[in-house]
Amino acid sequence: MSDFVLVPGGAGFLGSHLCERLVAAGHEVLALDDFSSGAAEHCDALRDHPRFRLLRHDITEPLPEDALRARVVCNLACPASPPQYQARPVQTVLTSVLGLWHLLEHARARGARVLQASTSEVYGDPEVHPQSEAYVGHVDPIGPRSCYDEGKRCGEAMCFAYQREHGVPVRVARIFNSYGPRLRPGDGRVVSNFIVQALEGRPLTVYGDGTQTRSFCYVDDTVDGLLRVLDGDTPGPFNIGNPAEHTMLELAEQVLRLTGSRSTLEHRPLPVDDPRRRRPDLTRTTATLGWAPRVSLEDGLRETIAHFRHVLGRDTPVAA
Ligand code: UDP
């Protein structure tokens, strides 16, 4: 069945990929974005599509008139890169909480379903490994990451509060380190930093000793997972990520190998509260939704490197 779908954050890295999938599935999509980390050109492929529109809007403001027909809301609004969300911590909290409140109020009034893009950051610096959805997390409520971590935790709390009190159908996905084409060169997250540095022949900036781990999920898999959560019958939360876990040193080696770059590694101080390790336990997601990621890190990095070569105007391979 086709719906009118509102996508706050629709011009972002994940949001723009999600909009393409929703339009391809026959839905009418209204994307909202304040362009704090998204960019209108991310939606270029959809710009002239009769079932797609993009409006500049900050969801901490009441929803625009045009949004009020939405029967489905996919909330991807909020910068996800640590340097970006930490640069405007008050706005990060407000987007995650006040912005979501506007969406949930809309859902309560209009009977809409809400998909909330939550995050593995709700687990903080985890003491349990891998992280299942039953793990309640280990977050510093006043640290530099707390504007995002606690904002997203409060977002989950508010989703479930609206479900309990008002019967709003909510769906919560906890996204683990997604990457792929349309990450921006200045994004600040590790995959884009390493690839841009490698392609430009600059040292790869490894924070700390590089033994901390992350589990990287290619964007097509992430978006596929989000759609499964949206279409599922239960609120979750559901982990959406790739369980292949890598140290940052391993990631740096892969990027150097796949780009053919001769860049060196340069160690920088580890950011405060940087989680030591992270890997999704997908037992619930796979059992309930039948979802698991398909794209290997190597294949995903190849696609992402091709994207950055194009964006940086380095379509010819760098010398090996
Ligand atoms: N990191 C790094 N070099 C960079 C950027 C990040 O070594 O140029 C590390 C960072 O300290 C963290 C990991 O890479 O341990 C993932 O960082 P990112 O900002 O991509 O996402 P996070 O999972 O921390 O939100």
Encode pLDDT of 186-212 as tens digits.
999 999 999 999 999 999 999 999 999
What gap in Å lies between CA 240 and CA 229, rounded to an integer? Answer: 9
Residue nearest to atom 4 of ligand 1 (CA): 190
Region 86-112: mean pLDDT is 98
The atom number, within ligand 1, closest to the CA of 83 reads 19
What does the block give as tokens for 3?
Answer: 């719906």
Q: Which two tokens stand for residue 168?
A: 């709003």
pLDDT at 318: 46
Rounded to the nearest 10 degrees, the angle between the axes of helix 100-110 and helix 146-166 is: 10
The model's pLDDT over 8-22, given as tens digits with 9 standing for 90+, comes to 999 999 999 999 999
pLDDT at 289 over 80: yes
- Per-residue model confidence (pLDDT) at position 202: 98
Q: Is the pLDDT of residue 90 over 80?
A: yes
- Inform me whether the pLDDT recorded for 81 exceeds 50: yes
Q: Could you give the percent of the chain with pLDDT greater than 90? A: 97
Sign of CA dihedral 100, 102, 108, 111: negative
Q: Whose CA is nearest to atom 25 of ligand 1?
A: 82
Task: Determine the pLDDT at residue 1.
Answer: 77
Q: What is the pTM of this model?
A: 0.97
pLDDT of residue 316: 56
Q: How many Cβ atoms from other residues are within 10 Å of residue 61's Cβ?
A: 11
* Residues 6 or more apart in contact with residue 22 via CB below 8 angstroms: 5, 7, 29, 74
Each residue of 20-56: b (16+ CB within 10 Å) or e? bebbeeebbbbbbbbebbbeeebbeebeeeebbbbee
Region 271-294 average pLDDT = 98
Give the SS3 label for residue 208. coil
Question: What atom of ligand 1 comes closest to residue 193's alpha carbon?
Answer: 8
**Could you tell me if the CB of 297 is within 6 A of ligand 1?**
no
- Give the number of the atom of ligand 1 that is nearest the alpha carbon of residue 80: 25
Atom of ligand 1 nearest to the CA of 206: 7
In tens, the pLDDT along 251-277 reads: 999 999 999 999 999 999 999 999 999
Nearest CA to ligand 1 atom 24: 274
Contact between 5 and 30 under an 8 Å Cβ cutoff? The reply is yes
- Testing ligand 1's pocket by substitution, the residue of 131, 175, 190, 277 carrying the most ligand atoms inside 8 A of its CB is 190
Q: Is 148 a catalytic residue?
A: yes
Tokens of 97: 């909480």
Cα–Cα distance for residue pair 24/113, rounded to 1 Å: 20
Nearest-CA residue for atom 3 of ligand 1: 206
**Residue 305 to residue 255: CA distance in whole angstroms:** 8
Check if 288 has its Cβ closer than 6 Å to any atom of ligand 1: no
Q: Which one is catalytic: 85, 123, 148, 218?
A: 148
CA 30 / ligand 1 centre spacing (Å):
32
Residue 232 to residue 288: CA distance in whole angstroms: 8
Residue 319 has pLDDT above 90, yes or no: no
